[in-house]
Amino acid sequence: MHIHRSADEFVVHAPAKVNLFFEVLGKRDDGYHEIETLMCPIDLYDTLYFQEEPNGQLELTCGRVSGRHDVQDGEIPQGPENLVWRAVDSLRRRAGVTSGARLRLVKRIPAAAGLGGGSSDAAAALMLANLGWNLNWSPQQLHGLAAELGSDVPFFLLGRPAVCRGRGELVDEVAGIGPLHLVLVRPPAGLATAAVYGACRPAACPNPLTPLLEALERGDLRASGRLLFNRLQPAAESLSPWIERLRREFEGTDCLGHGMSGSGTSYYGLCRHARHARRIARRLAANGRGSVFVVRSCR
């Protein structure tokens, strides 16, 4: 994540992610699902500001960017129901901190979209609070707390392409993947993650991840496009008509490959380069399928 510091404030840009591969291996005794997924951060960011508050209070204000620059306040939870607030409060209690914090969150990542915005914000909050309160917690210590907050939060602490296993909290960095150019669509309706998992049937014979990893590491984008996979996509298609609409829309493009991110409803296409992505994005935007973004994988 990109962290900046002014005289009395820390600022971080928290990225979204896409899942290039997602396999569901089975349901665990704790109610979660055992998964194997390849995730990449992308350059679509929320922004979080942190300022230490000596009076011990935690204050969070939130807004969503509605246009190029306008921020609408008051439409996002601003108390303990927000994962940013819970992350900072959990770290404060675990570390015995008496100071508080004034936090401001500016949202650009769509919600209920399979892009991990809430988890990324929580990871950003842990990083900023660790710096702002001068705690000097190690990455391993933060990872343990991140895993308690949510399955994707540890991935965002790493901030690099990674294979995630377990319920998502076991994170192994993947080196050697070059920049990827993507066009991303978030349709007008979202989906609840629990509902998608509830409708998904784990694989009797799981898809292997290795062929996709090998194709990406040798820079073979055409082969990579053919190997994109998401076990949750058929379940999401059964719950929302938007997934099938977007799949058919992307099938009519010359993307190298396409698929749903996470539990949906965002859908992406892998492109040859940025110009290719911009051309496809213009076409999709003209068809009114939702919010369209041209993004690149990032570190």
Answer whether residue 68 shows pLDDT above 60: no
Domain boundaries, the chain: 2-172, 181-296
Asked if 60 contacts 73 with a C-beta cutoff of 8 angstroms, the reply is: no
Read off the pLDDT of residues 136-175 as tens digits, 9 standing for 90 and up: 999 999 999 999 999 999 999 999 999 999 999 999 999 9
What's the count of helices (H) and strands (E) in the chain, helices before strands? 10, 13
Beta strand pairing call for 257-260 and 267-271: antiparallel
Mean pLDDT for the stretch of residues 254-281: 98
Share of the chain above pLDDT 70, in %: 97
Quick one: pLDDT at residue 280? 97
Q: Is 17 a catalytic residue?
A: yes
Q: Which SS3 state, helix, strand or coil, does residue 221 take?
A: helix
Quick one: pLDDT at residue 71? 47
Asked if 85 contacts 92 with a C-beta cutoff of 8 angstroms, the reply is: no
Quick one: pLDDT at residue 76? 80
Quick one: pLDDT at residue 1? 81
Give 47's contacts (C-beta < 8 A, 6+ positions apart).
11, 12, 13, 14, 105, 106, 108
Options 3.30.70.890, 3.40.50.1370, 3.90.950.20, 2.30.42.10; which CATH number does 181-296 get? Answer: 3.30.70.890
The highest-level CATH class for domain 2-172 is alpha beta
Quick one: pLDDT at residue 153? 98
Instruction: Write down the catalytic residue from 17, 89, 107, 121.
Output: 17
Quick one: pLDDT at residue 46? 97
Categorize the per-residue pLDDT at 177 as very low, low, confident or very high, splitting at 50, 70 and 90: very high
In angstroms, the CA 51 to CA 40 distance is 29
Asked if 16 contacts 117 with a C-beta cutoff of 8 angstroms, the reply is: yes
Q: Which SS3 state, helix, strand or coil, does residue 241 take?
A: helix
Read off the pLDDT of residues 7-56 as tens digits, 9 standing for 90 and up: 789 999 999 999 999 999 999 998 899 999 999 999 999 999 999 999 99
Answer whether residue 64 shows pLDDT above 70: yes
The closest alpha carbon to 36, from 212, 180, 176, 196, belongs to 212
Q: pTM for the full model?
A: 0.94
278: tokens are 């911009």
Quick one: pLDDT at residue 31? 86
Instruction: Write down the catalytic residue from 43, 89, 152, 220.
Output: 152
Quick one: pLDDT at residue 3? 87
Beta strand pairing call for 33-53 and 162-166: antiparallel
CA dihedral of residues 41, 124, 4, 63 (deg, nearest 10): 100
Q: Please provide the average confidence, as pLDDT, over all residues in the chain.
A: 94
Asked if 54 contacts 113 with a C-beta cutoff of 8 angstroms, the reply is: no
220: tokens are 């073979």
Read off the pLDDT of residues 205-253 as tens digits, 9 standing for 90 and up: 999 999 999 999 999 999 999 999 999 999 999 999 999 999 999 999 9
CB atoms within 10 A of CB 201: 9
